[in-house]
C-alpha cells in the first residue's frame, strides 16, 4: 500500500471540512476520505463492543443503502459501491456479542464526482503539459496528477483544459485527472503519457556597435535546431532565420533603436520548445557637440552642449585632462575646471548596449589664471612699476591700481609690467586680470604697496638760540617717524620722533648747516630723497681787545672778527641813563660824542642776516669828567678873585687856572669854588679848568676870558678950593680909558662926581664945611659898573680959612 497510503495521508492533511457528530454513549464518528464510489470513516472505540456496523443511506430515495461491518478492534473502515456525487447519511453502531447496540453515531457526507477521462495532452512550454479531459457532473474542480518514477505532482484546475506546471523540460510524465467536489475527489482516470518540450534558448544579446546586435546562447539540451526572429520596436517588419549555431550577429541595424529577438529550440521530434524574447537596444549614434562654453563666475567651469541622439539614456563628456561629466536628461553638462587650460572634449552617448563612438573633439580653452606673483617696484620718486609673472594663454592684461583715497587707474598691456605715477605716502592696491577670448579670470590676487613717505613740505628752520636751530614741518602722509640729520654733524640723527619738530643744539657758530628731515614708515623704510634745507647758526661772539680814548669825547674800540665777511658788528656802550651803539664791519669801532662824566659797560655782538651772536665779555669805559657848565670869576679885591663853577659830572676835583701875559693864578680843589690871588688889575685872563675824575681821567675845560677890573687910582688927595668946592685928585695905574666916580661920604652929606676918561681929578661943590669925608675914587668898567673894592680914604675938611691940606685918618675897604 505504499503509494496508496501516501496518497491517503496527503488527502487526510488536505481535508478541509470534517463533520463530526456526537454519538450516544460517548462514541464519535467522522469521515476520513471519500471517492466517487467509496467513503472511509473513522470512529472512537467503545469499550465492550465486539463489532461495529456502518450504514450509508443516500438521501435520494431511489438509491439503496450500503452496509459494512467491522470487528470490535477496528476504528476505521470503508464503504464501497456508493454512487458518485451523492449525499449519504452514515451511521455507526457499536454492538456486543449478542449484536446489541451499545452506542451509535451519525454523520453526513457527499461522495466525489465521477471519474473524468483524458482526451488529449500536449506541451508548449518546457515546464508544463496541458491536459484536455472530459468534465463530469457535480465536480467543482479537478486535480491533474503528473508522475514519474521519482516525481509526483498534483495540480488543481478549475476545468478542462488544465495545465500541469513545474515540470522538467523534455521529460515524459504519466498524467491522470481526478474530479473534486465538497465531499472529496474521485479516483484517478486512466493514465496517459505526455512529454514536455525543450527549453527556449537563453539568449544573451549585446550591441558591439551602433548598427549591430550579437546574440549568443548556451546549447539547449535535446535541441537540434534554433529559430531566431528579430523585429524593431514599433515596426512590423521582421527577420526570421534558423540556425544550428549558438551565436548570431544582426548587422545593418539602426543606431539607438530597440530590437526584440525571439528564440525557439526544436527537438528531434520536430516540436518547437519554449520561446524566449529578449529586447536589445543598439548603441546610440555619436552625438554632435554644439558648443563649449566657459561659465563665468568665481567657480570656473566648462559647459558642453550637444544634440540629442536616438536611444541614448545618458551622456558622458570626456575631457582631455581626464575629467568627465554625466547627463541623463539634459543635453549639456558642466564640470569645474582650472584656469589656463587648452583642452578638448568629446561626448559619448550611452544606453544599455554601451557607449557610442566619441564625437569629434571640440577644442576649448579656459580664461587665463591670475598671475601668481604681483609686486610693485619704485625705481624713482613718483614713478612706480607694477610687475607680475607671465601667464599662459593670455592675449592681454588689464591692471587696476587703486589708491587708498579712492583714486583709481588702470592700464591695458600685453607686457608683464605697467608703469604708473605714484604719490608718496599712499597705499596702492594693485591687481592684474589676464584676458583671452574666453574672458578674464573672475578674481585675482590683490597686493598692496605703500609708497615711501612724502618729503615734508613747509620745512622752516628757525634760529632759536645762538647754537640751536629749531626745525618745523607739516606732517606728511605715510610717515610714522621722522629722522632729522645735519650733514655737518656727520649725519648724526638729532631727532628720531613722531612729532614734526626738532631742535638741533650745540652747533658751531657762524656755520651753515644742511638739515634733512627724513620721513620713515615701517613698511617702506625711510625716504632718503628729501631735499636738505640750509640754515646758518648765529655768528660767533666777538671780543673786545682794547678801548682807546682819542679825544675828550671819542673812543676807539678794537674787537676780534671771528665771522665771515658778511658780518657786521655792533659795539654797545651801556651807561646808567643812556646807551650808545657803534657799528662796523671791521675790527675797529669809534664812539664819538660820548657824554662826559659817564661810565659805560662796553660789549660787542656780531650780526648777520641769520641773527645775532651772544654778546662778548664787557669791558668798562669811563669818559672824562664833564667841564662845569658855568664858571664865574668874581674879583674880590684888586689882586684877588673868587672863582665859582657848577659841578662837572664825573669830576671829583678841579684845577682852575687864570692865565695872562703878566702871570697866572691856579688853585686845585675838591670844591666848586676857588679863591685866587696874584691878580693884576686891568688885565685880560684866560680861564682854564681841568676836571679830574676819581679814576684820574682829566678833562680840559676852556671858558671865555676874564678881564680884571680897572686899577683903583692911587694917590687920592682931597683939596678945598677957594670957591667952597672940593677937588679930589688921583693917579691912574692903568690906561686912561675908564671914567672914574668919586664918592664922598660925610657925616652931614654925601657927594659924588664923575670924571671923564683921561681925567685925574673931580670937583665937588661942598654945601657944608667942616665935615669928615670918606673919599672913594673908583674907575667905572666898560660895562658901566663901578669897581667896588677900591679903598676909601678919610679926610677931615675944615671950613674956609684953614689950610687946604688934609690928613687921611684911616683906610678901609668900602662896603658899598
pLDDT digits (tens, 9 = 90+) for 312-354: 989 999 988 888 889 887 888 888 888 888 889 999 999 889 9
CB 442 within 8 A of CB 300: yes
CB 258 within 8 A of CB 233: yes
pLDDT digits (tens, 9 = 90+) for 678-692: 888 888 899 999 999
Cβ contacts of residue 9 below 8 Å, gap of 6+?
none
More confident residue, 202 or 494: 202
More confident residue, 529 or 129: 129
Q: Is 431 helix (H, G, I), strand (E, B) or coil?
A: strand
The mean pLDDT of 445-450, rounded to a whole number, is 89
C-alpha cell at 812: 678901609
What pLDDT band is residue 85 in, cutting at 50, 70 and 90?
confident
The mean pLDDT of 529-542, rounded to a whole number, is 90
Q: Is the pLDDT of residue 69 over 80?
A: yes
The mean pLDDT of 595-624, rounded to a whole number, is 90
The percent of residues in the chain predicted with pLDDT above 70, rounded, is: 95
Question: How would you write 491-542 as a 3-class SS string?
Answer: CCEEEEECCCEEEECCCCCCCEEEEEEEEEECCCEECCCCCCEEEECCCCCC
What pLDDT band is residue 797 in, cutting at 50, 70 and 90?
confident
How do strand 512-521 and strand 481-486 relate by DSSP bridges? antiparallel
Residue of 543, 540, 518 whose CA lies nearest to 529:
518
Q: What does the alpha-carbon distance between residue 321 and residue 341 come to, in Å, rounded to a whole number?
A: 9
Which pLDDT does position 188 carry in this prediction?
93
CB 720 within 8 A of CB 803: no
Task: Return the ∠ at Cα 702 (arms to 701 and 707), rounded to 5°.
Answer: 140
Cβ-based burial of 24 (10 A; exposed 0-12, middle 13-18, buried ≥19):
middle
What pLDDT band is residue 493 in, cutting at 50, 70 and 90?
confident
Which pLDDT does position 808 carry in this prediction?
44
Q: Is the pLDDT of residue 86 over 70?
A: yes
Which pLDDT does position 801 carry in this prediction?
63
Q: What global pTM score does this model have?
A: 0.47
Q: What does the alpha-carbon distance between residue 680 and residue 568 come to, in Å, rounded to a whole number?
A: 59
Backbone angles phi, psi at 303, to 5 degrees: -110, 125
Question: How would you write 595-643 as a 3-class SS string?
Answer: CCCCEEEEEEEEECCCCECCCCCCEEEECCCCCCCCEEEEEEECCEEEE
Residue of 89, 94, 97 whose CA lies nearest to 43:
94
Residue of 686, 675, 638, 660 whose CA lies nearest to 788:
638
The percent of residues in the chain predicted with pLDDT above 90, rounded, is: 46
The mean pLDDT of 74-88, rounded to a whole number, is 89
Which pLDDT does position 815 carry in this prediction?
34
C-alpha cell at 801: 680959612
Q: Is 258 helix (H, G, I), strand (E, B) or coil?
A: strand
User: What element of type H or E holds 655?
Assistant: strand 653-660
pLDDT digits (tens, 9 = 90+) for 563-591: 887 899 999 999 988 999 999 999 999 99
In the sheet that 663-669 helps form, which strands lie side by side, from edge to edge?
A: 663-669, 653-660, 684-692, 698-707
Strands (E), 217-306: 223-232, 238-243, 247-250, 258-267, 272-281, 289-295, 301-306
Question: How would you write 525-593 as a 3-class SS string?
Answer: EECCCCCCEEEECCCCCCCEEEEEECCCCCEEEEECCCCCCCCEEEEEEECCCCEEEEEECCCEEEECC
What pLDDT band is residue 20 in, cutting at 50, 70 and 90?
very low
Mean pLDDT computed over every residue of the chain: 87
More confident residue, 22 or 406: 406
pLDDT digits (tens, 9 = 90+) for 158-196: 999 999 999 999 999 999 999 999 888 899 999 999 999
Q: Is the pLDDT of residue 816 over 80?
A: no
More confident residue, 800 or 248: 248
C-alpha cell at 211: 548598427
Q: Is the pLDDT of residue 437 over 80?
A: yes
Which pLDDT does position 179 carry in this prediction?
93
pLDDT digits (tens, 9 = 90+) for 698-755: 888 999 888 888 888 888 888 887 777 888 888 887 777 778 888 888 887 888 898 8
pLDDT digits (tens, 9 = 90+) for 747-762: 878 888 988 888 888 8
Q: Is 79 helix (H, G, I), strand (E, B) or coil?
A: strand
What pLDDT band is residue 130 in, cutting at 50, 70 and 90?
very high
Q: Is the pLDDT of residue 644 over 60?
A: yes
The mean pLDDT of 108-135, rounded to a whole number, is 93
Which pLDDT does position 809 carry in this prediction?
45
Amino acid at each position: 500500500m505504499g503509494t496508496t497510503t501516501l496518497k491517503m495521508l496527503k488527502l487526510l492533511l488536505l481535508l478541509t471540512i470534517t463533520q463530526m457528530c456526537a454519538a450516544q454513549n460517548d462514541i464519535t464518528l467522522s469521515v476520513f476520505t471519500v471517492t466517487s464510489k467509496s467513503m472511509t470513516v473513522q470512529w472512537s472505540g467503545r469499550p465492550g463492543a465486539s463489532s461495529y456496523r456502518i450504514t450509508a443511506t443516500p438521501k435520494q430515495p431511489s438509491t439503496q443503502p450500503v452496509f459494512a461491518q467491522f470487528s470490535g478492534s477496528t476504528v476505521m473502515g470503508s464503504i464501497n459501491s456508493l454512487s458518485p456525487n451523492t449525499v449519504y447519511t452514515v451511521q455507526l453502531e457499536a454492538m456486543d456479542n449478542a449484536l446489541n447496540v451499545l452506542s451509535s453515531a451519525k454523520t453526513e457526507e457527499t461522495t466525489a464526482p465521477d471519474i473524468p477521462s483524458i482526451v488529449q495532452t500536449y506541451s508548449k512550454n518546457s515546464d508544463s503539459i496541458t491536459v484536455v479531459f472530459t468534465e463530469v457532473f457535480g465536480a467543482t474542480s479537478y486535480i491533474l496528477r503528473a508522475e514519474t518514477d521519482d516525481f509526483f505532482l498534483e495540480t488543481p484546475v478549475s476545468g478542462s483544459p488544465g495545465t500541469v506546471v513545474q515540470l522538467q523540460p523534455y521529460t515524459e510524465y504519466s498524467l491522470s485527472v481526478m474530479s473534486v467536489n465538497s465531499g472529496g475527489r474521485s479516483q484517478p482516470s486512466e493514465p496517459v503519457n505526455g512529454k514536455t518540450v525543450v527549453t527556449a534558448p537563453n539568449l544573451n544579446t549585446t550591441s558591439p556597435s551602433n548598427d549591430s546586435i550579437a546574440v549568443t546562447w548556451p546549447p539547449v539540451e535535446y535541441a537540434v535546431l534554433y529559430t531566431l526572429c528579430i523585429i524593431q520596436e514599433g515596426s512590423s517588419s521582421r527577420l526570421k532565420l534558423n540556425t544550428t549555431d549558438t551565436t548570431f550577429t544582426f548587422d545593418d541595424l539602426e543606431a539607438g533603436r530597440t530590437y526584440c529577438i525571439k528564440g525557439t529550440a526544436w527537438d528531434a521530434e520536430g516540436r518547437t520548445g519554449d520561446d524566449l524574447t529578449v529586447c536589445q537596444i543598439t548603441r546610440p549614434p555619436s552625438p554632435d557637440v554644439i558648443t563649449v562654453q566657459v561659465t563665468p563666475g568665481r567657480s570656473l567651469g566648462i559647459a558642453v552642449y550637444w544634440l540629442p541622439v536616438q536611444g541614448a539614456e545618458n551622456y558622458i563628456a570626456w575631457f582631455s585632462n581626464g575629467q568627465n561629466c554625466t547627463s541623463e536628461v539634459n543635453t549639456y553638462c558642466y564640470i569645474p575646471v582650472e584656469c589656463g587650460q587648452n583642452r578638448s572634449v568629446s561626448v559619448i552617448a550611452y544606453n544599455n548596449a554601451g557607449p557610442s563612438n566619441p564625437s569629434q573633439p571640440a577644442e576649448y580653452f579656459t580664461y587665463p589664471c591670475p598671475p601668481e606673483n604681483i609686486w610693485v617696484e619704485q625705481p624713482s620718486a613718483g614713478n612706480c612699476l607694477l610687475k607680475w609673472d607671465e601667464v599662459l594663454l593670455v592675449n592681454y592684461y588689464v591692471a587696476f591700481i587703486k589708491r587708498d583715497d579712492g583714486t583709481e587707474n588702470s592700464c591695458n598691456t600685453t607686457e608683464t609690467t605697467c608703469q604708473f605715477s605714484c604719490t608718496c605716502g599712499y597705499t596702492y592696491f594693485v591687481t592684474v586680470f589676464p584676458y583671452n577670448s574666453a574672458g578674464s579670470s573672475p578674481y585675482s590676487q590683490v597686493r598692496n604697496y605703500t609708497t615711501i613717505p612724502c618729503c615734508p613740505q613747509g620745512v622752516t628752520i628757525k634760529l632759536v638760540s645762538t647754537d640751536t636751530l629749531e626745525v618745523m614741518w607739516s606732517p606728511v602722509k605715510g610717515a610714522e617717524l621722522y629722522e632729522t640729520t645735519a650733514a655737518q654733524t656727520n649725519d648724526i640723527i638729532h631727532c628720531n620722533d613722531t612729532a614734526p619738530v626738532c631742535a638741533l643744539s650745540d652747533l658751531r657758530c657762524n656755520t651753515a648747516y644742511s638739515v634733512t628731515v627724513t620721513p620713515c614708515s615701517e613698511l617702506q623704510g625711510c625716504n632718503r630723497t628729501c631735499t636738505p634745507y640750509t640754515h646758518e647758526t648765529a655768528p660767533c661772539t666777538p671780543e673786545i681787545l682794547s678801548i682807546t680814548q682819542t679825544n675828550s669825547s671819542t673812543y676807539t674800540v678794537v674787537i676780534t672778527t671771528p665771522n665771515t665777511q658778511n658780518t657786521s658788528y655792533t659795539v654797545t656802550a651801556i651807561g646808567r641813563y643812556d646807551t650808545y651803539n657803534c657799528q662796523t664791519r671791521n675790527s675797529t669801532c669809534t664812539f664819538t660824542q660820548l657824554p662826559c662824566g659817564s661810565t659805560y659797560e662796553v660789549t660787542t655782538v656780531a650780526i648777520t642776516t641769520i641773527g645775532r651772536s651772544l654778546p662778548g665779555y664787557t669791558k668798562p669805559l669811563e669818559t672824562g669828567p664833564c667841564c662845569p657848565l658855568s664858571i664865574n670869576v668874581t674879583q674880590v679885591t684888586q689882586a684877588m678873585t673868587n672863582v665859582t663853577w657848577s659841578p662837572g659830572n664825573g669830576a671829583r676835583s678841579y684845577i682852575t687856572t687864570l692865565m695872562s701875559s703878566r702871570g697866572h693864578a691856579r688853585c686845585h680843589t675838591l670844591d666848586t669854588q676857588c679863591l685866587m690871588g696874584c691878580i693884576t688889575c686891568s688885565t685880560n685872563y684866560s680861564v682854564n679848568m681841568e676836571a679830574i675824575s676819581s679814576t684820574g681821567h682829566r678833562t680840559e675845560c676852556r671858558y671865555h676870558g676874564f678881564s680884571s677890573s680897572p686899577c683903583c687910582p692911587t694917590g687920592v688927595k682931597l683939596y678945598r678950593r677957594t670957591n667952597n668946592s672940593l677937588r679930589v685928585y688921583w693917579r691912574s695905574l692903568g690906561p686912561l680909558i675908564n671914567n672914574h666916580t668919586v664918592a664922598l661920604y660925610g657925616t652931614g652929606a654925601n657927594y659924588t662926581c664923575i670924571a671923564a676918561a683921561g681925567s685925574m681929578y673931580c670937583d665937588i661943590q661942598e654945601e657944608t664945611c667942616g665935615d669928615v669925608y670918606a673919599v672913594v675914587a673908583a674907575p667905572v668898567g666898560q660895562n658901566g659898573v663901578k669897581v667896588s673894592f677900591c679903598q676909601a680914604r678919610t679926610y677931615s675938611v675944615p671950613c674956609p680959612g684953614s689950610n687946604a691940606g688934609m690928613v687921611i685918618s684911616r683906610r678901609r675897604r668900602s662896603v658899598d
